[in-house]
Structure 1
């Protein structure tokens, strides 16, 4: 994915398998808030390779689209996601393990590296990859009477979607160990989840509207550049207070030279809504990324063993 990628005039015109994209509020043009809906209600939105490809493509476009500020991810029907579609499965386990890439991980990384924050509107129950793929999101909002769980060990599988990185950092190792070891399914109020869900609502029909209200607020009042850099500082932070001080100082110094800082101060003093326009793909700190990114491409193979070169 490069900055020269053609962006759609309308995300609603995209024909992506097993997901649906919508503008919010309803508009023929692209809006700052984009809704991504897992769209297999007849299968409880069970996860498939095609869904993974569609989600990855959508996030890669939104990542570089300055028109979009926030993503709301939700599910069609009464369930958010029933996990992987076990009728489809994961292949036969043949081939080299070093070349295998789990499909949930591709989605998690696309969401994690997207400059735009995701609010997950978990309008119903979710298990397996239906849980792990939401971990890179900024906010998770759920339904009080739905059930949630990391059921992998009960299916003879290990966790995926980069959950071994995200989950313990979000809720602590002790809670994460309990959830993964038991493979249990619990209500969102269970102490095992800690504060994984930032808001728990009594009525499933409230989840999406509440998420959209929050997304609209963020799109109107928060700098995409400041939000993206701040989230990266937390996820890819330094290893000591002193190193954090140095890194934060460098990024902060960059930010005070940007238009969004001047606009944020002016709008506050003038008691009006801000108009943040800095594009994170262009105006990110020159130190970004300040970490060494791991290459996840498959290992190369020889194309012509008979070559004399």
Structure 2
């Protein structure tokens, strides 16, 4: 018998959905899940038919953080473990030249909270909960949480959420800016797909450059941001998407940024079969 894959892969209308698939453990992460998710993100980067990536969870949880049983007794330091699994995943996600939506369908705790916050767009279901749970076991938030959270809520609120391991529900998350939209549990999958398809119809090359500009601006000066914008604007202006956008504006029609899909555009890859 073959075991269930730890990441389910599906593609429809330019949207690649990667589903964490350990529902019996609320998708708590083991090495196989983390390394496979990283590999799948890299694979999506190289597929022209994939314009948007969605990361979500199977069952009633998004990701409950690290599966402690998976690392118990292992001859590996905390630093080695992070550098082998979580850190390459977060770097790959943030550096991906395509928008990544984290669709939080339930609890996102510990490193699962870090993954939830790392998306370019964060969509939550009404039953979603985010918990920076590290202090409950006397550890430091990792996998990017100390970088993402204070930029979203400020230093003091971030410290409080981390120090007290406070649970943030969906409405609080939206108010704090931890997610862009909250959808009903009953229609969450459909709402996420519809949102992702809207994003997929936008100019892919321009969004890739926009993501590069924003990532650079988060750690740079205003002068550096202005220089980077000028450089990237030239790349955007030289691309066919710009000509299409201007032409559509002039004749008052909706621009068509999605070229004709290849024969394999909506077909399952070898991983999906």
Query: Is TM > 0.5 for Structure 1 vs Structure 2?
Result: yes
Structure 2 distance, partners of 1:151, 1:111, is 22
The 5 A counterparts of 1:1-309 are 17-24=5-12, 31-89=13-71, 92=74, 94=76, 97=79, 101=83, 103-190=85-172, 194-201=176-183, 203-220=184-201, 222-237=202-217, 239-270=220-251, 271-276=253-258
Q: Please give the per-residue CA displacement for 1:124-169, whole angstroms capped at 9, x wherever unaligned.
A: 1221111101222111111223322110111222111122222222
Deviations 1:51-78 (A, max 9, x none): 0011000001111221110011111111
Contact 1:39 1:76 in 2 (8 A): yes
Q: Tell me which structure has the larger Cα radius of gyration.
A: 1
TM-score (norm 1): 0.75
SS at match of 2:94: helix
Offset of residue 45 of structure 1: 1.1
8 Å Cα contact 2:9/2:16 also seen in 1: yes
The equivalent of 1:9 in structure 2 is none
> Number of matched residues?
255
1:102–1:166 Cα change, 3 Å: farther
The structural deviation recorded for 1:48 is: 0.7
Residue 195 to residue 97, structure 1, CA distance change in 2 (3 Å): closer
CA distance in 2, matches of 1:69, 1:105: 24
Conserved 8 A contact 2:209-2:236: no
Q: Which has the higher helix share?
A: 2
| Distance in 2 of aligned mates of 1:99 and 1:20 | 24
Question: How much does 1:42 deviate?
Answer: 1.5
Give TM-score scaled by structure 2 length.
Answer: 0.84
Q: Is the 8 A contact 2:244 2:255 kept in 1?
A: no
Q: What is the Cα deviation at residue 172 of structure 1?
A: 2.3
For residues 17 and 23 of structure 1, the distance between their equivalents in structure 2, rounded to whole angstroms, comes to: 16
For the aligned residue pairs, the C-alpha RMSD in angstroms reads: 2.4
Aligned partner of residue 80 in structure 1, secondary structure: strand
User: How far is 1:100 from its partner?
Assistant: 5.8
| Unmatched segments (≥5 aa) in structure 2 | 260-273
| Gap runs ≥5 in structure 1 | 1-14, 25-30, 278-309
Q: Secondary structure at the match of 1:134?
A: helix
* Aligned mates of 1:149, 1:100 — CA distance in 2: 19
Is the contact between residue 39 and residue 45 of structure 1 (CA under 8 Å) also seen in structure 2? yes
